[in-house]
Amino acid sequence: MKVLLIAPASGNWHHVGQQRIFGGKTFRFSLLSLLSLAAETPPGFEIRIVDEQVQDVPWNEHFDLVGITCMTAAAPRAYDIADHFRTCGVPVVLGGMHPTFLPDEALQHADAVCVGEAEGVWRHILEDARHGKVSGIYRADEQHTLVGLHMPPRALLDARRYGTIQSVQATRGCPNRCSFCSVSAFHKGSLRCRPVEEVVCEVKDLSGRFFMFVDDSLTAERGYALELCQALKPLGKIWISQSTLEMADDEELVQAASEAGCIGMFVGLESFSESSLRSVDKGFNRVAEYRDRIATLHANGIGVEAGIVFGFDTDGPNVFRSTLELLDEIGIDAIQVSVLTPLPGTPMFDRLVSRISEHDWSRYDYHHVVFRPARMTAEQLQAGHDWVTREFYRPWRIARRLARMALRPGGMRMMKYAAALNAAYYGRTVRWDIRGYDPGVRSRTHAHGGDVSRLPSLGG
């Protein structure tokens, strides 16, 4: 049986990995969603993976089953692809975050929907497909054990087209409950860890030195994280991952991560306002400690990419400039700016449902305003998000950041990674023509009317 697995991409994300200049590839990694399915597939099925960020869908080839992974922003594209194959008589199954939260919507475009994780379910889907009766909702009864997971068959991806295909997952989920977060909603606030020896075995098998952990909160369980770091240390690899800033409260853990090869962490700072953080159940981020915690990570040779979100109910038009200044001041090495987005399945969606102004899921990509903000207009929020993105990645700011990094003890350790990341983000501002303006200044000088949809902005 021939099975086609597709990661859909639309708008600016479509073919992003094919851009040779400005690091279009830098943001291409993972595909563990589909590789996990491939890993779970028993013999007798021929698997092909197509990632629309780097390849075209083979519309005219014959397949016996099509599986599509789907985050919310990719849902419309996923549905178009699904509709096409079903018209040709090929059964389609949808899975991933969006179909998990809105299975009935997904079922309008698919023969079957996988709710939750594929482990323990995917084999049933394949068997049912083999007997021509794949249909309805497939739901794992309980969270599947992470013991004994098969190695992701990375050879199914064309490595040349990616920043790296060496993504590894040691833990799934996150014990925190930030109200905007799909991860905690998907995993119901749980965190599960793979056996350290199995993770290390997988890492040993990777070629070259660099890899990444796609975990959402790698250090959430201290004992596990320490054990993992100790086991990784002898391998001499270097890696990046994601964590909360709480990690930096713990010098021993930071040092262990550094010695294990950690050179960078994505950390969800989200905001410099305590009340904004509390409003989304992220009060454990203590703003007064940002500077010292970042310094601790830096002192151990770990660079910091901060996640920043705009659009909280406490955010007014002045939040953009003050955030930009504070980011510079505390020495953040890179940022990923997002607009607060009420994603289906999250508590934030229920809270903002009456203020939602945009129902096209492709706009739910963190870079478009899809609801009415409380203390500014949607246009101001969009403009401010774009403006901070552009300003932070001005070439002179990048050069200043990298120069400071070079002078910092341990700074050279993360230089290559930080330079590549900054260059890639700069490239994105150019390619996607991100401009915006500072709404704080405009609201002080003159009122600006206009149509938000005409403003240049990120995303597809």
Work out whether 297 is an interface residue with ligand SF4 (CB under 6 A).
Answer: no
Residue 11, Ramachandran bin (φ over 0: left; ψ between -120 and 50: alpha; else beta): left
Q: Does 117 bind ligand B12 (CB under 6 A)?
A: yes
Is 217 a binding residue for ligand SF4 by CB under 6 A? The answer is yes
- Is 176 one of the binding residues for ligand SF4 (CB under 6 A)? yes
Instruction: Tell me which of ligand SF4, ligand B12, none is bound by residue 212, counting a contact when its beta carbon lies within the kind-specific cut-off of 5 to 8 angstroms.
Output: none
Give the alpha-carbon dihedral of 332, 334, 335, 336, to 10 degrees. -160
CA angle 149-151-153, nearest 5°? Answer: 135
Tell me the one-letter amino acid at 251.
E
Stretch that binds ligand B12, among 66-74, 278-286, 326-334, 411-419 (CB under 6 A): 66-74
Q: How far is the CB of 141 from ligand SF4 (least distance, A)?
A: 24
For residues 199 to 238, the per-residue mask of contacts with ligand B12, x marking binding by CB under 6 A and - elsewhere, is ---------------x-x----------------------
Residue nearest to ligand B12 (CB): 95
As measured in angstroms, the least distance from the Cβ of 33 to ligand SF4 is 16
Q: Which of 168, 123, 177 is nearest to 146 (CA)?
A: 168
Contact pick of 7, 297, 302, 370 for ligand B12 (by CB under 6 A) = 7
Beta strands in 38-183 (DSSP E): 46-51, 65-69, 92-95, 112-115, 136-139, 167-168, 171-173
| Span interacting with ligand B12, options 89-97, 191-199, 278-286, 379-387, rule CB under 6 A | 89-97
Q: How far is CA 155 from CA 54, 78, 152, in A?
A: 15, 24, 9
Alpha carbons 98 and 120: distance in angstroms, whole number: 19
Three-class secondary structure of residue 274 per DSSP: helix
The entry of ligand B12, ligand SF4, none that residue 3 binds, CB within 5 to 8 Å by partner kind: none
Distance CA 232, CA 170 (A): 12
300's contact among ligand B12, ligand SF4, none, with CB below 5 to 8 A by partner kind, is: none
Minimum CB distance to ligand SF4, residue 212 (Å): 16
74 is an interface residue for ligand B12 by CB under 6 A:
yes
Does 269 sit near ligand SF4 (CB under 6 A)? Answer: no
CA distance 460 to 25: 17
Q: Which is nearer to ligand SF4, 81 or 214 (CB)?
A: 214
Residue 91 to residue 65: CA distance in whole angstroms: 5
Q: Cα–Cα distance between 160 and 158 in angstroms, integer?
A: 6
Q: Is 33 in the site for ligand B12 (CB under 6 A)?
A: yes
Distance CA(411)–CA(258), nearest Å, equals 12
Which residue, chain included where needed, has tokens 């119901």? 188
CB nearer ligand SF4, residue 178 or residue 378: 178
Choice from 202, 216, 365, 438 touching ligand SF4 (CB under 6 A): 216
Compare residues 17 and 268 and give the one whose CB is closer to ligand SF4. 268
Q: Say whether 242 sits in a helix, a strand or coil.
A: strand
Count of residues that interact with ligand B12, criterion CB under 6 A: 38
| Binding of ligand B12 by 243 (CB under 6 A) | no
Residue 217 binding partner per list ligand B12, ligand SF4, none, with a CB distance cut-off of 5 to 8 Å that depends on partner kind: ligand SF4
Which is nearest to 422 in space by CA: 18, 12, 27?
Answer: 27
Answer yes or no whether residue 183 interacts with ligand SF4 by CB under 6 A. yes
Quick one: which of 40, 29, 73, 315 has its CA closest to 182? 73
Give the residues across from 266 on adjacent strands: 242, 305
Amino acid code (one letter) for 209? R
Which residues of this chain interact with ligand B12, rule CB under 6 A?
Answer: 7, 9, 13, 27, 29-33, 36-37, 53, 67-69, 71-74, 93, 95-98, 114, 117-119, 122, 169, 181-183, 214, 216, 343, 365-366
Which residues of this chain interact with ligand SF4, rule CB under 6 A?
Answer: 174, 176-178, 181, 183-184, 216-217, 244, 268
